[in-house]
Structure 1
Amino acid sequence: MTRTKIDYGIDLGTTNSAISRIENGEATIKKTDTLKDTIPSCVYINKKKAIQVGDSAYNALGREKLFAMQSWSREGDNSFIEFKRTMGTDKKYITSNLGKEFNSEELSAEVLKTLKSFIKDENVNAVVITVPAAFGNNQKEATREAAKLAGFNHIELLQEPVAAAMAYGLDSKKKDGFWLVFDFGGGTFDAAILKVEDGIMNVVDTEGDNYLGGKNLDLAIVDEIILPYIKENYEINSILADDNKKQILRDAMKLFAETAKIEMSFKDEANILSDLGVIKGEDDNGEEFELDITVTQSDMERALGPIFQKAIDICKKLLERKNLKGSSLDSLILVGGPTFSPVVRKMLEQQICKPDTSVDPMTVVSKGAALYASTVEISDQIKEQTRDKSKIQIEIGHEASTVELEEFVTLKILTDKTEGTIPEKVLAEITRSDKAWSSGKVEINEIGEVIETQLIEGKTNSFEIILFDDKGNVLESEPKEFTVIQGSKIGSATLAYNFGIEIKKRESGKIVFETLKNLEKNKSIPAVGTRNGLRTQKQIRPGMESDFIKIPIYEGEHEAEGTRAIHNNHVTDIIISGAELPALLPQNSDVDLTVNVDRSEQITVTVYFPYLDFSYEANVERTISTISTSWLSNEIRKAKGSIEELKDEGVSTDKVQKAETEIADLEKKFENNKNDVDSKQEVLTNLRKTLKTIDELSETTEWPKLEEELKDEFYRLEKANKDFGNEDSTQVVNQLKNQLEEVLKTQDIKIGKHLFSEISSLFVQLTLVYQLINFIRQHNQNFGSYHWKDSNRARQLLNEGLQQIGENPTTKDLHPIVIDLINLLPNDEKPSGDDSVLVG
């Protein structure tokens, strides 16, 4: 069957995955090989080197985790799960049976291949894959890479909460108001607020945590219920004292915890039981482990409550940000297996509002992805590959989803795509799948004809097209069907982050994150962001790879503007060297930046240089996130130091105490799992959030320092003006003095920083020639201590500079000489400051 739309949707989950497609106008889950709706997102390489995915792999995972306790060694793992949480990182999964390493994308590709194999009646080469709203660009690009490895040629990404809302909205009688999607998956959590008007859904805001999900719930059951039981009944001090053994024990017990969690979603009480000999390994006294624990709902509330509370707090923060309350919501939609838990449903009802349980949390994302896929045109490349040109080719034009009860459909014959004979007169008849409506026979041609179709309210309407000649004979044609969703419509997905760049601020000299205009969080996509008026700090010589400018691109969360760039999620660096430029780009040249984010959140960057009338274009490719253990340890140490500085300066608010507690908890988590990529990513993500709070608190102590710096800088300027100034500079100094007096009264930090920059700038202008003279003299006197790239050229420049100094030089005379000298120095000997970053 020739398809014009993608039609296939995949929920690629941390613990479970599913595939759906549109059949007869309905989003239908395709059953797995074991006739289930989902498969475990688990991969196993058996002893025959064959790759297994799904239930058999998950069973093997259980055996391996329990067997690891026998030798207390994790070497020889061949089963893997939860690799979605390490997408886009350098994490390697080593299999002893195959003798090779897998990355997260390769393992995810195996899951995607298996899902694709459940489709027996056609080849699937186009798909919509859902991703968490909180996924960063690196993780999205890693998902795209996994899909390519699985053989998909056309890949669209869709945020999971949007997919869930689309599936919910089609069946729901609620067509207006605010909806909150509470998406608690196996490894990630997303919350999204949608505003719905007459069935048209628009995403208002999103928030999430890529390291909060069912995995955290399982480990909480291990730590709060299972391990206390084992401590009480067995001697395990030596195991707990060894980080490796402790982790092996927790991994093995996590399997029992997950089973208990699922059972307790539907029962008031459950037993965690193990037969003698099932759990391999012994305690310190040589006794084999055995579990016999009765778990109640109160036990689950105690263990799971704090984890679920983190997700609920994210929702509260999101609602508060939009000036909404739980009572303002018309629907609270549950997504993800963990939301079956009575614990979270009770907490949500108490703290936000009663959840709507009308949709299946396990399949709603996959079905929503298929519905969305039915609105997305297959790429022209795939269309051409699948055309049967012996049949009459037609083009169908229509809105894929609508809130109206009729839809205008255009039909036209594609003569250039048809190799068979086309009769002089061709008639088309469109029939709705329920046979209750038909267009009758309408003549069509290569120009096109418009036909008004009637839709069933609140349904995915499926239509069949049949072509006839003037004698009533049926003509072979394709495509033969299309669908129109009536009653709900996704306005568009939105950016989950502020998309921006790292720049050096002119006023303060600080390196900060700046959001690009039109790429702010919650902007509808596709979107185009711009930043004009950037400046280079140095000249870029053509053909010189050592000369370059750098545009670091970041994703920032809510209120990221003006924060230190390193506290945000680094996407990539756009590097443009002299090798890419057609001519010399002088220092202080203008740079205009344009960033395009398409519907599937693929990013293209265009950099325009007005001086050269030249544009450089680059696609943002997948990058690997690598976190050095020693670097992260040092960042935690510096954060602790910042807390102590705040306390020393007398700042002792609740926020300081909260930040101190957060840092202590992160340090503990890091120490327990310092070599685990997933844990390091989680620690870094949460550390950045706390560091932003510390920066905000630091600003409260900033004025006394700034006041002193302003006075000192102005006194320095007055002295320089007395020594080197003129009437014009004296007039400017007097103006600055008046501004200084006003700032000292108002204590406005922002204006004070800007004024400091103006004072410093004037000081530099007055004294620059003397700074340049000092630079030349210093480097001449210490010539032999520098590692010049070309010592002969350096000597020639210094001699030229010394000659100019003897002739009463101006800044214009000496500045080019100093710039050339700096370019002859290795990077670590250049004057401090990254001069490759643009100034804004």
Structure 2
Amino acid sequence: MARTKIDYGIDLGTTNSAISRMENGEPTIKKTDTLKDTMPSCVYINKKKAIQVGDSAYNALKRDRLKSMKNWNSENSNAFIEFKRTMGSDKSYSSSNLDKELSSKELSAEVLKTLKSFVKDENVNSIVITVPAAFKNNQKESTREAAKLAGFDHIELLQEPVAASMAYGLFESSKDKKDGFWLVFDFGGGTFDAALLKVEEGIMKVIDTEGDNYLGGKNLDFAIVDEIILPYIEENFVIDSILADDAKKQSLRNSMKFYAEETKIKLSFNDTHNILSDLGDIPGEDDEGEEFELDITVTQTDISNALSPVFQKAIDVSNNLLERNNLKGSCLDSLILVGGPTFSPVLRKMLEAQICKPDTSADPMTVVSKGAALYASTVNISDEVREQTRDKTKIQLEIANESSTVETEEFVPIKILADKTEGEIPEKVFAEVTRGDKAWSSGKIEINTIGEIVEIQLNEGKTNIFDVVLYNDKGDILESEPSSFSVIQGSKIGSATLPYNVGIELKDRTTGKVRFKTIKGLEKNQSIPAIGTKNGLKTQKQIRPGMDSDFIKIPVYEGEHASEGTRAIYNEHVNTIKITGLELPSLLPENSDVDLTVNIDRSEKITVTAYFPYLDFTHETEVESTTKATDANSLENEIRKAKGSLIELKEEGNSDTMKLQKIESELQGIEKLFDADKEGNKDQVLNELRKSLKTIDELNDTTEWPKLEETLKEEFYKLEKANTDLGNEKTTQVVNQFRSQLDQVIPSQDVKIGTALLEEMDMFFFKLTEIYQFMGMIKNFNNNFGSYSWNNPTKARQLVNSGMDKIANNPDKEELRQILISLYDMLPNNERPSGDDSVLVG
């Protein structure tokens, strides 16, 4: 039977994955080749270049990791896992057996192909794949591309917590909890998500999400390694040389991770577990030539000490999510557990103590995959795929039923699609709709190409399947397609929501700083599809027609909660739209208006439309996500700047000692993580650094006014002196106005107004002393030439030398201006003293 709904859902996990299909109205797990519900998300390329996925690949990974202890070389493995953590990045995995580099999406595609192969009775070309709520746009795009590589033609993405809540909503034990607030606590193998849902009359709506793409079961495993297994080895073996070598130590940790994972799972269901290895199981020797052996009895107390700090991070994220929505754990009607680590009694006790008692009715390992299949049963297969699978010899029908509802009666339009049917259609056609339990039938109703409405009756709290049989006027059965449809009663997913604020980088017209600004209508948790607008933006320079070197850029970002007005590093760059003179019909003057409209469809594809009123011209661009390539050098610089900011806070005598100590500890951990693997860990380092920078900014805010007041006074006195030396009657009037404004701002201690006043004074001072400013800038370039990242150092040096010559011989203001413009053009945007003039002002 050709399907009209997708019906298939995949939980593409960091460590384990699963596929489900709707069968007789129920989401059903398709068993793996080893007859399990889930398979390891692991890929292995053997010496014959054959690709293995799942349990056999995982066994190869374990073998390779242990073997690496013989020569302490972990680079030769051809087995890969946890590549979901690097989706959307430029990270590659080297396979010596294939003699090539593999990307995260290529490895994910192999997992998806294998999951698809578990379906033996039909070809699967449409799919719903779940992604973490904290996934960024580029990570989602990379997931879509992986699905295309795996041969899927129609791909829909669904947030993992939404999938879990949909499956949970149909469990019998949850029927008395239909309404209220639900918190989905999704602790997976590599990511953590918390999603807050509000359920009213069975309609589920995500109202807020939070997560961490670098927190999961992997962190638990390494906690067991570091807190239990390594201390045992240190106590019983001599490993000083191994611990002194970071590469050897990491190889040892990776090898021991398998014992840790087994320990974690066993202690989810038992009071104790004995980590036991036989002589020869673990290759390699200690510093004195002794072979490694393990014999460790691990208790619930031991495991609690090791895992509690990791679990606490996830609980803190959840409590922050509740707090910003003015809720407490006691307000929740249900706490839903998702992911293998949530079986841990350590976590469950912590959750009950700090949030509320979790609901354990659903299987945390399969609930996401099943929920994805349930959602898939509500999504029509795309027209393109549908056309490929039609059997046009049968009478083609269009059945416009609601896929899910909280009502017990629904009206379903049915009509004949004559243009899609190649066989003969009788003059009179009758349809009979019968519910699967045979307890309700519509009777025979005449239908045609215009359409007829059938009122159906639904059983409560389950998926209702309806068979559709066509007859001619003689009562003969006619073959039709589709011949059935289903409606989920008692639960309904509201619109999906934006997991982040979607906005652009703009130059603030008041402060002159380039900052992230959310597009109105595209705020976090806004229902999608969504449309946002930002009107009255201004260009900073003229754009000449036909000139590729003249351009406006619109950097599109995803921002976290409270991201408004933050620096670019806090937010995730999606892509930058560049509109050049080649694309404009005529000259666009400086300071021209630009109106932006941003559309986000159900799959979170972004389209930006820029309208230029002066030209009456519209430019439309579909924003493609870029593969994120975090630059290790710039990241190192950001860490250095963060440490410098911390030192400044201490020197200024900031009173929040606990926060200062916390930031210091965080930065030490970030630096250690970065030094361990600058390329491999850079995305995780950036994620952690953002959190610390936000805290630094919060602490800076507490000391911002005293610093600003001091600067305002200094700048005013400097301006007053310059006016005495260089001004006239007109400029004196302006300076007197500044004095009056200063007298008002200082008592109010208003940082925003004070910053704006400071900018106005600086601009006036610049105009008053412009030629001296130009001379000072050129001298600065001359004195600090080597600290700038010139794109043409030779030409830059010539320009600086020319400027210094002109300063020594009656300088002309306009000549110096042109030299400075040329110098700024040879600097990256973030090093230009005047800022980036290609972004819009708003």
Range into which the TM-score falls when normalised by the shorter chain = over 0.9
CA contact 2:774–2:820 (8 Å) conserved in 1: no
Residue 760 of structure 1 deviates from its aligned partner by 3.9
Residue 682 of structure 1 deviates from its aligned partner by 1.5
Q: 1:455 corresponds to which letter in structure 2?
A: L
Residue 11 of structure 1 deviates from its aligned partner by 0.3
CA contact 2:95–2:101 (8 Å) conserved in 1: yes
User: How many residues were matched structurally?
Assistant: 816
Q: Distance in 2 between matches of 1:106 and 1:217?
A: 27
Q: Does 1:649 align with 2:648?
A: no
Q: Which moved more, 1:17-26 or 1:542-551?
A: 542-551
Q: Does 1:364 align with 2:367?
A: yes
Aligned residue in 1 for 2:826: 827
Q: Does 1:697 align with 2:692?
A: no
Q: Distance in 1 between matches of 2:775 and 2:109?
A: 62
Residue 176 of structure 1 deviates from its aligned partner by 0.7
Q: Distance in 2 between matches of 1:770 and 1:614?
A: 42
Q: How does 1:636-675 map to 2 (within 5 A)?
A: 636-653=639-656, 654-671=658-675, 673-675=676-678
- CA 1:790–1:420: 2 relative to 1, 3 Å: farther
Which whole-Å deviations, capped at 9, do the CAs of 1:678-736 have from their partners, x for residues lacking one?
x3221210111111111221222222332233234445655777766666x77665554
Q: Which moved more, 1:715-724 or 1:6-15?
A: 715-724
Which whole-Å deviations, capped at 9, do the CAs of 1:572-617 have from their partners, x for residues lacking one?
2222222222222211111222222221212122222222222222
Which whole-Å deviations, capped at 9, do the CAs of 1:438-485 have from their partners, x for residues lacking one?
111100011111111111101011111111101111111111111111
Residue 821 of structure 1 deviates from its aligned partner by 9.1
Residue 522 of structure 1 deviates from its aligned partner by 1.4
Aligned residue in 1 for 2:381: 378
Q: Which moved more, 1:306-315 or 1:533-542?
A: 533-542
CA contact 2:12–2:129 (8 Å) conserved in 1: yes
Q: How does 1:319-358 map to 2 (within 5 A)?
A: 319-358=322-361
Residue 557 of structure 1 deviates from its aligned partner by 1.3
Q: Does 1:290 align with 2:289?
A: no
Aligned residue in 1 for 2:274: 271
- CA 1:743–1:479: 2 relative to 1, 3 Å: same
Q: How does 1:697-776 map to 2 (within 5 A)?
A: 697-715=699-717, 734-762=736-764
CA contact 2:514–2:835 (8 Å) conserved in 1: no
- CA 1:55–1:745: 2 relative to 1, 3 Å: same
Local SS of the residue matching 1:640: helix
Aligned residue in 1 for 2:442: 439
CA contact 1:788–1:825 (8 Å) conserved in 2: no
Q: Which moved more, 1:208-217 or 1:91-100?
A: 91-100
CA contact 1:527–1:596 (8 Å) conserved in 2: yes
Local SS of the residue matching 1:684: helix
Aligned residue in 1 for 2:315: 312
Aligned residue in 2 for 1:544: 547
Q: Distance in 1 between matches of 2:812 and 2:327?
A: 69
Q: How big is the alpha-carbon RMSD for the aligned residues of Structure 1 and Structure 2?
A: 2.8
Q: Which moved more, 1:612-621 or 1:369-378?
A: 612-621
Residue 788 of structure 1 deviates from its aligned partner by 9.4
Aligned residue in 2 for 1:811: none
Residue 508 of structure 1 deviates from its aligned partner by 1.1
Local SS of the residue matching 1:170: coil
CA contact 1:430–1:439 (8 Å) conserved in 2: yes
Q: Does 1:218 align with 2:221?
A: yes
Q: 1:660 corresponds to which letter in structure 2?
A: E
State the TM-score, normalized to the length of structure 2. 0.92
Seq. identity, %:
70
Q: 1:118 corresponds to which letter in structure 2?
A: F
Residue 787 of structure 1 deviates from its aligned partner by 4.2
Aligned residue in 2 for 1:99: 99
Residue 566 of structure 1 deviates from its aligned partner by 1.8
CA contact 1:787–1:826 (8 Å) conserved in 2: no
- CA 1:804–1:295: 2 relative to 1, 3 Å: closer
Q: Distance in 1 between matches of 2:162 and 2:391?
A: 35
Aligned residue in 2 for 1:23: 23
Q: Distance in 2 between matches of 1:626 and 1:155?
A: 25
Local SS of the residue matching 2:11: strand
Q: Distance in 1 between matches of 2:627 and 2:130?
A: 21
State the TM-score, normalized to the length of structure 1. 0.92
Q: 2:664 corresponds to which letter in structure 1?
A: E
Q: Which moved more, 1:189-198 or 1:701-710?
A: 701-710
Q: How does 1:191-590 map to 2 (within 5 A)?
A: 191-590=194-593
Q: Does 1:189 align with 2:188?
A: no
Which whole-Å deviations, capped at 9, do the CAs of 1:104-154 have from their partners, x for residues lacking one?
000000000011111112111111110000111111111111111111111
Q: 1:284 corresponds to which letter in structure 2?
A: D
Q: Distance in 2 between matches of 1:230 and 1:771?
A: 65
- CA 1:819–1:191: 2 relative to 1, 3 Å: same
Aligned residue in 2 for 1:810: none
- CA 1:127–1:579: 2 relative to 1, 3 Å: same
Which whole-Å deviations, capped at 9, do the CAs of 1:741-779 have from their partners, x for residues lacking one?
110111111111122233445556677799899999x99
Q: Distance in 1 between matches of 2:516 and 2:567?
A: 6
Q: Distance in 2 between matches of 1:705 and 1:42?
A: 54
Local SS of the residue matching 1:133: coil
Which whole-Å deviations, capped at 9, do the CAs of 1:475-500 have from their partners, x for residues lacking one?
11111111111111111222221211
CA contact 2:130–2:157 (8 Å) conserved in 1: yes
Residue 191 of structure 1 deviates from its aligned partner by 0.4
Residue 169 of structure 1 deviates from its aligned partner by 0.8
- CA 1:588–1:720: 2 relative to 1, 3 Å: farther
Aligned residue in 1 for 2:85: 85
Aligned residue in 2 for 1:40: 40
Which whole-Å deviations, capped at 9, do the CAs of 1:610-659 have from their partners, x for residues lacking one?
22222222222231222333332222222111111111111141222221
Q: Distance in 1 between matches of 2:518 and 2:683?
A: 23
Give the gaps of 5 or more residues in structure 2.
782-792
Aligned residue in 2 for 1:782: none
Which whole-Å deviations, capped at 9, do the CAs of 1:668-687 have from their partners, x for residues lacking one?
2222x22452x322121011
Q: Distance in 1 between matches of 2:352 and 2:794?
A: 69
Aligned residue in 2 for 1:110: 110
- CA 1:825–1:695: 2 relative to 1, 3 Å: closer
Q: 1:710 corresponds to which letter in structure 2?
A: L
- CA 1:25–1:733: 2 relative to 1, 3 Å: same
Local SS of the residue matching 1:623: coil
Q: Distance in 1 between matches of 2:548 and 2:823?
A: 14
Q: Distance in 2 between matches of 1:401 and 1:308?
A: 35
Q: Distance in 2 between matches of 1:513 and 1:193?
A: 26
Q: Distance in 1 between matches of 2:794 and 2:259?
A: 64
Which whole-Å deviations, capped at 9, do the CAs of 1:316-350 have from their partners, x for residues lacking one?
11111111111111100000000011110111111
- CA 1:283–1:772: 2 relative to 1, 3 Å: closer
Q: Distance in 1 between matches of 2:776 and 2:551?
A: 27
Q: 2:691 corresponds to which letter in structure 1?
A: K
Local SS of the residue matching 1:441: strand
Local SS of the residue matching 1:711: helix
Q: 1:121 corresponds to which letter in structure 2?
A: D
Q: Which moved more, 1:51-60 or 1:698-707?
A: 698-707
Q: Distance in 1 between matches of 2:497 and 2:741?
A: 43
Q: Does 1:628 align with 2:631?
A: yes
Q: How does 1:807-822 map to 2 (within 5 A)?
A: 822=821
- CA 1:775–1:392: 2 relative to 1, 3 Å: same
CA contact 2:632–2:679 (8 Å) conserved in 1: no
Q: Distance in 2 between matches of 1:522 and 1:552?
A: 21
Local SS of the residue matching 2:669: helix
CA contact 1:178–1:195 (8 Å) conserved in 2: yes
Q: 1:146 corresponds to which letter in structure 2?
A: A
Which whole-Å deviations, capped at 9, do the CAs of 1:378-398 have from their partners, x for residues lacking one?
111111111122211110112
Local SS of the residue matching 1:594: strand
CA contact 1:725–1:766 (8 Å) conserved in 2: no
Aligned residue in 2 for 1:809: none
Local SS of the residue matching 1:245: helix
Residue 828 of structure 1 deviates from its aligned partner by 3.0
